[in-house]
Structure 1
Amino acid sequence: MLDFPNAKINLGLQIIEKRPDGFHNLESCFYPVQWCDALEVLPAAQNTFTMSGLPVPGDTESNLCLKAYKLLEKAHNLPPVHMHLHKVIPMGAGLGGGSADAAFVLRILNKLFDLNLTIEQLQNYACQLGSDCAFFIENKPVIAVERGDVFMPAILDLSGYSCVVVYPDIHITTAEAYAGVTPEKPSCTIEMILKQDIKLWKDIMHNDFEKSLFPKYPELAALKENLYEAGAVYASMTGSGSAVYGIFKGDAPANLIFPKNWLVWKGLL
């Protein structure tokens, strides 16, 4: 069975407070974009896992795809499978690619072996793999709160808009991003902001990670400004970085040029 795990962008990201468990409570709108990996899962005589595409750091055993399989294997006595992941979504970018891969493994296994797991059950398994994994089970726009694993429907319509997502070959770990954050309760919720005209988002919707990461990586601030100069109605870093996106009314400009080692995705929202 073949599927295509997709990335997500964050429309606003507010770090509200540090939790007793060491994580942070946040508020953000998760919005899927079709920058995709490719994932194939097939029944096999023994378990195998192979990868191609962008190199994935770390040892294979720590890959979230394998962890997702082992989670369901233990709970439902699954037979062996062969999994192949072709990696296209960059890592350390704030796009949730690894989380998407893990969630799609759960989704595929549920169909492949007729487990008949509900959305809620799949989300509960996904939460054991990572804070934003559960988002990719339903894979539709939500307002995420708490650790990013509690969802409310996001009421917004971005049809007619396109998006350019740029990964400037800078890997930012989650630990590095959170090290520079000072949690603060916002005066305006993401839900309230999303009800405003998108032309106003530039002044009222922010990613809290930008405050500490832009001085450290000035090319990210310059990239955001370049997207605005190219006509974006809204631009922001996504997640804990380092990918930056711009939202454009209609088609994105065709003449946007970036360094050759930067990865770029363009598409409709």
Structure 2
Amino acid sequence: MIQFPNAKINLGLQLIEKRPDGFHNLVSCFYPVGWTDALEILPTTSEASFTLSGLSVPGEPTQNLCWKAYELLKKDYHLPAIQMHLHKVIPMGAGLGGGSADAAFTLKILNDLFTLSLPAEQLENYAKQLGSDCAFFVQNKPVLAIEKGDVFKPIDLDLKGWHVVLVYPNFPISTAEAYAGVLPQFPENSLKTLLAHEPTTWKDTVVNDFEASLFPKYPVLKELKGQLYAMGATYASMSGSGSTMYGLFKEAPAQPLPFTAEYSVWQGVL
């Protein structure tokens, strides 16, 4: 069975406060986009295996979130051996949730492949054990994420038909690095309220709080944001705590894009 784990973008990200456990409470809207990896899982009568292709993934295969997802379900449901192959396309440290998506899709494939009949809520509970935003990719629909980014509330937001351009500047930003420079504070306006207005208003109101500390450190990110607006983006922002910049366009942007020779670029329709 093969599926295609997809990325997500963050529409705004408010860092509210540091928690006693060392994490941060935040508010962000997670929105799925069509940049995908490819993940295949097959039962096997031989030894279980996990292989990789595409982008280089650091660490031992057994430390990959996909393999950890398999081990998590195997412990409770005595799953048979599998052959798993991940073709990695979504860049890492990019703020796109690619690794989290791979883990969640592993759970979903195993649920279908072995007819476990686990409901979405139970799959989300397993996914939360693997990473803060993993559970989002179980139902894979726009949500307002709160607390550590692992508690979801519904949001009435439909960007169907909008064009999105994602630009990864070919360097990652780790979660630890991103959080090291932040100063959390309670916002004047709730993100849900700000997103309820037309996207034409978001440029001046919907902010990713990581930009304040990361733009001075990585000026290219601010430059890319400016380029996206110069191309006609209605809204442009950093995604999550990673290095990807994205722009939302009401109409498809003019071709060719100015940064395809230097950076990794994906564009599509929401």
**Would you call these one fold, judging by a TM-score over 0.5?**
yes
What pairs up with 1:1-269 in 2 under 5 angstroms? 1-45=1-45, 46-258=47-259, 260-269=261-270
Alpha-carbon separation, structure 1, partners of 2:173 and 2:48: 32
- Answer whether contact 1:143 1:154 (CA < 8 A) is retained: yes
The answer for unaligned runs of 5 or more in structure 2 is: none
Shift of 1:204: 0.4
**CA-to-aligned-CA distance 1:125-156 (integer Å, 9 cap, x gap):** 00000000000000000000001011111211
Shift of 1:259: 5.2
Identity over aligned pairs, percent: 63
**CA-to-aligned-CA distance 1:74-112 (integer Å, 9 cap, x gap):** 011000000000000000100000000000000000000
**CA-to-aligned-CA distance 1:186-214 (integer Å, 9 cap, x gap):** 11111101111111100000000000000
Aligned residue identity for 1:105: T
Alpha-carbon separation, structure 2, partners of 1:253 and 1:240: 28
Q: CA RMSD in A?
A: 0.8
Q: Which runs of 4+ in 1 moved over 2 A?
A: none
Count of paired positions? 269
Shift of 1:261: 4.3
Alpha-carbon separation, structure 2, partners of 1:142 and 1:253: 30
The answer for unaligned runs of 5 or more in structure 1 is: none
Aligned residue identity for 1:223: L
Shift of 1:255: 2.2
User: What SS does the aligned partner of 1:84 have?
Assistant: strand
Alpha-carbon separation, structure 2, partners of 1:62 and 1:140: 27
TM-score, normalised by the number of residues in structure 1? 0.98
